Copies of this chain bind each other. A is one copy, B any other.
């Protein structure tokens, strides 16, 4: 296979892709993002079809990457130097393949049974992990506040491992409005709530998770129907926000499974 080989950082395509990799506003403006690695790319193709452009790197490719390039032979492909490729990739060990894609929009269910609201989550890896847990627990739609990290950044995509292609995600949402508009119970996770284990999670439920350092805002706690906490052993103050999210979501999933 031969590709257009680009070796200059002044190349306009490289500059455009670098902006997309680094900048949430740029991704929003063009409704495009970069997928890094065979796993994410394969997950995308299965649901949404071909990417718009492939980027590969000089040097050896894994069999998996070569296989993908063969399957995607009709997609325009460029080759960058190893260093240029690494500038576009969020991972320490480059995967050897990047794809430019449109950010997909999933339809939001009108009367969802299981919701997740995330307020001002800072770390894109944490955010990705939360989306991955949400998809695995059967959450039907995730709302992100304006202050949340971008769900479509390379790091959040890597953390999500394809969750972004399954879950409807509403970014820049007014969570207070979402809370008031939801017909089921809205549960604010705090350190002073009722025990998660004593709560009936079988009715339609929304979990609200706050910022890693400061937790949920007072406004959202007030808007919620109840506060919920995960009971913890003596000397520990709190859990990682992504771990707490996983525990809450899967406790509902457990109650649903047990009472089915």
Contacts and interface: CB of A to CB of B under 8 A. Distances in A.
Interface of A: 125, 129, 132-133, 135-138, 159, 161-163, 166, 195-197, 230-233, 235-240, 242-247, 250-251, 253-254, 257-258
Given A129-B243, A135-B236, A240-B242, 20 more contacts: A132-B236, A132-B240, A132-B243, A133-B240, A136-B233, A136-B236, A136-B239, A137-B232, A138-B233, A161-B240, A195-B257, A197-B258, A231-B253, A240-B246, A242-B243, A243-B245, A243-B246, A244-B246, A246-B247, A247-B247
Contacts of A235: 135, 166
A128 B236 CA distance: 14
A197 B233 contact: no
Contacts of A137: 232-233
For this chain, the copies found in one complex come to 2
Contacts of A238: 136, 161
A254 B166 contact: no
Main secondary structure of the interface of A (DSSP, over half): helix
A101 to B, nearest CB: 18
B135 A233 contact: yes
A241 to B, nearest CB: 10
A136 B246 CA distance: 14
B135 A240 contact: no
A231 B252 CA distance: 12
B257 A133 contact: no
A197 B254 contact: yes
A2 to B, nearest CB: 32
A236 B159 contact: no
Contact of A242 (B161, B231, B242): B242
A232 B139 CA distance: 11
A159, A233, A257, most chain B CB atoms within 10 A: A233
A254 B163 CA distance: 27
Nearest to A253: B231
Contacts of A240: 129, 132-133, 159, 161, 242, 246
Sort A-B residue pairs by CB-CB distance and give the 9 closest, nearest first: A138-B233, A243-B246, A136-B236, A136-B232, A129-B240, A247-B250, A197-B254, A133-B243, A135-B236
A161 B232 CA distance: 15
